[in-house]
Structure 1
Amino acid sequence: KLVKCSLLTLAWFGLSTCLALFNKALFGQRKGGFPAPLLLTSVQFLMQYLIAAATLRFVLPRMRPRRPIPWGVYLRQVAPVGVVMGMDIGLSNLSLVYVTVSFYTLAKTSSILFLLAFAFWLRLEPVSLRLTAAALTLTLGEVLTVQGETQFNALGFFLVIAAAACSGLRWVLSQRVLHAKNGLEGTGLRRSHGMHNPPAMLRTMMPVMCGVVFVFSCFQEDWWDTVPGSPWLDDPSDLFVDGGITLLGALMAFCMSMAEFELLKETSAVTVMVIGTAKDVVTVACSILIFGDVFGWENFFGMCFVLAGIAAYNYHKV
């Protein structure tokens, strides 16, 4: 199990870092980014659904669910995960239009604060002095990160925090669904529904994620006006290039989600969040090197406090 978790961690590390940099290059304003990030995100979700369906049919047929999930159970247990996961990814991609990757990465670590809040609220975690200290340390780190940002954008910051809230909630909900074995009490889920394996879970949730983000895009982006007149569609052949770029992002996201969900199934939401902290440091370093993000002393100390808060929380769990 240790070897499996180590390989999953490495895969998640690499794919997540590459995807963050890829999305910044794709959506960032300074590089003439795609004019409708939410639309493109919903198309990637559709592609991931098709990839997951093909994986279950041709590559991993043994993982196909033996029976469908009843609609009542789907709406109560699975759809909420898809909604918050879709909003998490959609808002994250939209925020990259306005903020740097390094700022986004550090601000997004506030998701563990929301994870703690939801865990307290749902009585999954008892309130203690250690957890309160860890949360305060994380909060101080977030404040320093925001104060040290030389290219601060209020809208981008709000989008990141909203995405972090969705992220914290989806970790709690995802762990509950993934750990359903032979009828988790109160969920109505059974092992035969296939929600214990990542491909089936992704195939089941992607339609909800795609629908939620697409509707949000229709209200927010006016893509029917902005996309046709953009440099992304100067020529009919651009459709194939754009489709290839979108498919590449979808493949990376699918493989990352597979590794993420499998790691969550093998460990816990807290363990994954702790591992993700080290990944965030790597992402910040890569962003500074590739995009030239300004990273001052306040950002550095903010990152140190964030790491200290995560370490304190991990010590409490051990």
Structure 2
Amino acid sequence: MAASSSSSSSGVSEGVLKKVLLSYAYVAIWIFLSFTVIVYNKFILDPKMYNWPFPISLTMVHMGFCSSLAFLIIRVLRLVEPPTSPPMTKDLYIASVVPIGALYSLSLWFSNSAYIYLSVSFIQMLKALMPVAVYSIGVLLKKETFRSSSMANMLSISLGVAIAAYGEARFDVWGVTLQLAAVAFEATRLVLIQILLTSKGISLNPITSLYYVAPCCLAFLLLPWAVVELPVLRAAASFHPDLLIFGTNSLCAFALNLAVFLLVGKTSALTMNVAGVVKDWLLIAFSWSVIRDTVTPVNLMGYGVAFLGVAYYNHVKLQALKAKEAQKKSAQADEEAGSLLQERDGDGRKNDSQA
């Protein structure tokens, strides 16, 4: 009996250990790929490095590559099934996917453009404003409830980013404007996903998301590309992009989407938020030590304040998630208890009638 108990305990601990190790592996893969895509994009777009300052073209290359691979996986190889309940009709696509695709194209375009003007470290500091943007837009669109405590936390994050911006050695107004616009568009996209897709029971994994959204992004980017970048590319006819660099860069971008699916699907979106904070610190350290970007003490102090605000935001989200899970378990327990009582009442009446 004791031996059986010991082996059961060992099995449970091994199972838990395996689950924890897998979670860490998913986090590590996501951090590595996210880190790689950011640094790779910076390398391609920065005038001091590869010097290919065409962010719309780079975004279109990514979207074209991801669209093609997603089509291959879903329609040719049939490894992933598109959502069938509810089905993706033409009207639903226009009403739900098209606005999300438009916002995604703007977010990618502006965030890639910012790499031309700003350091990797400072861009990561500005991205700390994402919870502020998501919460503010959620309140405006009545998806979030306004709370003074939440707003105070948002103000603390904003203050930290403002201090970091004040201490930035390579501050560029246009670059900051582009990055803040990218944050605003991405936050609006995330809120609209909840309103237009999740509320309708549509769940898209990264492959199906790319299948539907990437072609839409590509279409939206064609007009600004034709106006802004195509004339310059025609004038520089002697320039030929390296297919190896752009191919591997696009492959990394596609792999990152798969890593997001693994991380969120096997752990949670909150885990990705926490992992994102770790990734930001690693990128700041890499930007300072390898790329030789200037990171000032005021930068670090400001980002430290913002980091504490983001950490508190994640803590509140975690507590809310735990409370929701506890409520769900309590409701299930009450339901089970109710059904047991009904069964007992039914058995009792049956016995009485037999007597």
Shorter-chain-normalised TM-score: which range?
Answer: 0.7 to 0.9
Q: Is this contact kept in 2: 1:83–1:208, CA < 8 A?
A: yes
Q: Looking at both structures, which has the greater relative contact order when contacts are Cα pairs under 8 Å and sequence separation is at least 6? A: 1
Deviates more, 1:79-88 or 1:89-98: 79-88
User: Which of 208, 211, 216 is residue 216 of structure 2 equivalent to?
Assistant: 208
Larger Rg: 2
Q: Partner of 1:87 in structure 2?
A: 106
**Runs of at least 5 residues in structure 1 that lack an aligned partner in the other structure:** 234-238
Q: Partner of 2:232 in structure 1?
A: 225
Q: Is this contact kept in 2: 1:36–1:217, CA < 8 A?
A: no
**Does 1:30 pair with 2:48?**
yes
Q: Partner of 2:73 in structure 1?
A: 55
What is the 5 A alignment of 1:177-216? Answer: 180=198, 184=199, 187=200, 195-216=203-224
**Does 1:139 pair with 2:146?**
no
What is the percent sequence identity of the aligned residues?
25
Q: Is this contact kept in 1: 2:157–2:305, CA < 8 A?
A: yes
Aligned residues: 299
**Runs of at least 5 residues in structure 2 that lack an aligned partner in the other structure:** 1-18, 320-355
Q: 1:59 to 1:309 in 2, by over 3 A?
A: farther
SS of the equivalent of 1:30 reads coil
**Does 1:157 pair with 2:180?**
no
Deviations 1:274-297 (A, max 9, x none): 431221111111111221010011
Q: Partner of 1:236 in structure 2?
A: none
Q: Partner of 1:302 in structure 2?
A: 302
Deviations 1:27-50 (A, max 9, x none): 002225113221121122101111
How far apart are residue 160 of structure 1 and its match?
A: 0.4
TM-score, scaled to structure 1: 0.85
One-letter amino acid matched to 1:224: P
Deviations 1:114-162 (A, max 9, x none): 1111221233322223212211111111111111111111110100000
Q: CA–CA distance in 2 between the matches of 1:75 and 1:265? A: 27
Q: 1:300 to 1:116 in 2, by over 3 A?
A: same
How far apart are residue 224 of structure 1 and its match?
A: 3.3
One-letter amino acid matched to 2:170: Q
User: Which of 40, 44, 58 is residue 40 of structure 1 equivalent to?
Assistant: 58
How far apart are residue 263 of structure 1 and its match?
A: 3.8
Q: Is this contact kept in 1: 2:82–2:208, CA < 8 A?
A: yes
Q: Is this contact kept in 2: 1:175–1:269, CA < 8 A?
A: no
**Does 1:99 pair with 2:100?**
no
One-letter amino acid matched to 1:82: G
TM-score, scaled to structure 2: 0.76
Q: 1:109 to 1:59 in 2, by over 3 A?
A: farther
SS of the equivalent of 1:19 reads helix
> Which structure: greater helix fraction?
2
